[in-house]
Amino acid sequence: MTVRSPVREPAPRGHILVVATSRDDAFTALFFEGLPPDVHRRIRVLEFGNDSLALALAGATAVVLMRRGLFDYGSLRACAAFLRIPRYYFLDDNFIIVREEPENYGPFWSEYTLEGVREALKGFAGVLLASRPLLEYFAAHELHPRLSEYPPIAWPVIRRRDGESPAGTDEPFRIAFFGGGYRRDVFASFVYPAIQRLACRQKIELVVSGIGPAALAPDSHVRIVHLPHDVRYGAALGELARHRIDVLVHPTPPTRNNPYKNANVLINARAVGAVPVLSDMPPYDALGSPAPAILCENDPEAWYGALARLARDGRLRDQVFERTARYCDEHFSGAANAEAIRVILASHAAPGRWSRAARRVVAAAPLGADRARWLLRQRLSRNRLLRSAYRYLKRGG
């Protein structure tokens, strides 16, 4: 009688589950989309509240909680801990400092104290941090023993610069704003007046994303193009590139969180073929010399001077943009990110078939309840009547 060796199921390769607030926003795109193909195929990104979350968690080699996921993702952190799935945390802002500046960031960060973050990270396998100063802060305050620098990854070039100057042509000098809401006030106070002044001497087109029409006073000399809001980073960047931007302005208000941020604005500028003009403050004042951008103080005169020089000097634009592209190639290549992901994959075994099945059963109930609450919040945010009823019931009817 021939005895056959038992057929063994191939060892599962597993995946790293990245849980984010939005699947296609700038955070997931800039930090995971640009990974090399052999690493990228081992990454699965899902939004918190997705109906496939329990299944994806069951098959995960490890799970990465993005940004606010340390406290805001319902039972996910506790569920992963109970299932003994290695957990990692990713952060690109210093939320502990953000908590202390509600005038800039709102009152949403009460749990991000040193003690709260340190306690929440107990049992985590590691923390991925988007800048060296942020990593040093976590190390100095002993928030976790295993910290890895995980910078943004340069986005592909969407529009290549043609080197032509608007001077002497009928083409306008195109300036773009592509930033978050907390930059709107400094843009309106310092940058927009400079653009209006420049528009008195040459044709200007201003392309804005993230600022509504009501926020900028109409000016007969400035043609303003308002881009529709699109949370999808790649789609929004592609739409910006279509407008053939010359200069990307990125004013920054002074906050204590600034030194811990990263310079991903350089990635945006490189992708759309634009020269970055930035506030002369952290983190941009530490990018080296000569800087890969034009830096200026936050006052209309300084912004006007910077924009006027770039508008009349095509060679200066080319020189600065070359430094921008070189900085992205050197600092945002994705090599450190790929190595960090490979280390995670090599450090933890992928779950077997029976383990995946058991995990799915255990995770289904708590993550299903999370999804129900998430769906309710989505509906409340879109319906004023439901929102009022919900508040009334919470007060006890």
What pLDDT does 340 receive?
Answer: 97
The boundaries of the domain holding residue 83 are 15-153+334-392
∠ CA 259-260-263 to the nearest 5 degrees?
A: 85
For residues 240 and 346, membership in a common domain is answered with no
Distance of alpha carbon 121 from alpha carbon 133, whole angstroms? 19
Is 3 domain-assigned? Answer: no
Q: Do 175 and 249 contact (CB within 8 A), yes or no?
A: yes
For residues 321 and 355, membership in a common domain is answered with no
Burial of 80 (0-12, 13-18, 19+ CB in 10 A): buried
Of the candidates 331, 364, 380, which is a domain's last residue?
A: 331
Distance of alpha carbon 330 from alpha carbon 332, whole angstroms? 6
Is 306 domain-assigned? Answer: yes
For residues 243 and 273, membership in a common domain is answered with yes
For residues 318 and 372, membership in a common domain is answered with no
Strand ranges across the sheet with 275-279: 222-226, 204-209, 173-178, 247-250, 275-279, 294-296
Q: Do 246 and 174 contact (CB within 8 A), yes or no?
A: yes
Residue 153 has phi, psi (to 5 degrees) of -110, 130
Residue 92's alpha-carbon distances to 129, 209, 241, 262, in angstroms, are 6, 22, 25, 7
For residues 104 and 56, membership in a common domain is answered with yes
pLDDT of the chain along its 397 residues, tens only?
343 333 333 334 689 999 999 888 999 999 999 999 999 999 999 999 888 999 999 999 999 999 999 999 989 999 999 999 999 999 999 999 999 988 878 888 889 999 999 999 999 999 999 999 999 999 999 999 999 999 999 999 999 876 555 555 678 999 999 987 788 899 999 999 999 999 999 999 999 998 888 888 888 899 999 998 888 999 999 999 999 999 999 999 999 999 999 999 999 999 999 999 999 999 999 999 999 999 999 999 999 999 999 999 999 999 999 999 999 999 999 999 999 999 999 999 999 999 999 999 998 888 888 888 877 777 766 665 555 554 555 555 4
Is 321 domain-assigned? Answer: yes
Is 1 domain-assigned? Answer: no
For residues 205 and 275, membership in a common domain is answered with yes
Strand ranges across the sheet with 15-20: 43-47, 15-20, 60-66, 87-91, 126-129, 147-149
Count: domains in the chain: 2
Q: Virtual CA dihedral for 85, 93, 321, 226, nearest 10 degrees?
A: 100
For residues 78 and 204, membership in a common domain is answered with no
For residues 213 and 327, membership in a common domain is answered with yes
Distance of alpha carbon 183 from alpha carbon 194, whole angstroms? 16
Of the candidates 282, 299, 331, which is a domain's last residue?
A: 331
Burial of 378 (0-12, 13-18, 19+ CB in 10 A): exposed
Burial of 142 (0-12, 13-18, 19+ CB in 10 A): exposed
In the DSSP assignment, the letter for residue 298 is S
Which long-range contacts (C-beta less than 8 Å, at least 24 apart) are formed by 257-261?
257/93, 257/94, 257/97, 257/98, 257/101, 257/104, 257/105, 258/282, 258/283, 259/133, 259/283, 259/286, 260/93, 260/94, 260/97, 260/131, 260/133, 260/134, 260/137, 261/92, 261/93, 261/131
What pLDDT does 10 receive?
Answer: 37
What pLDDT does 134 receive?
Answer: 98
Q: Which of 315, 230, 234, 222 is nearest to 275 (CA)?
A: 315
For residues 177 and 326, membership in a common domain is answered with yes
What pLDDT does 150 receive?
Answer: 98
What pLDDT does 371 receive?
Answer: 84
What pLDDT does 214 receive?
Answer: 83
The H or E element spanning position 366 is: helix 353-382
Is 70 domain-assigned? Answer: yes
pTM recorded for the entire structure: 0.89
Crossing angle for the helix pair 384-394 and 353-382, to the nearest 10 degrees: 100
What pLDDT does 394 receive?
Answer: 52
Q: Do 381 and 86 contact (CB within 8 A), yes or no?
A: no
Crossing angle for the helix pair 314-331 and 265-272, to the nearest 10 degrees: 120
- Report DSSP letters for 311-343, one per residue: HH-HHHHHHHHHHHHHHHHHHSSSHHHHHHHHH
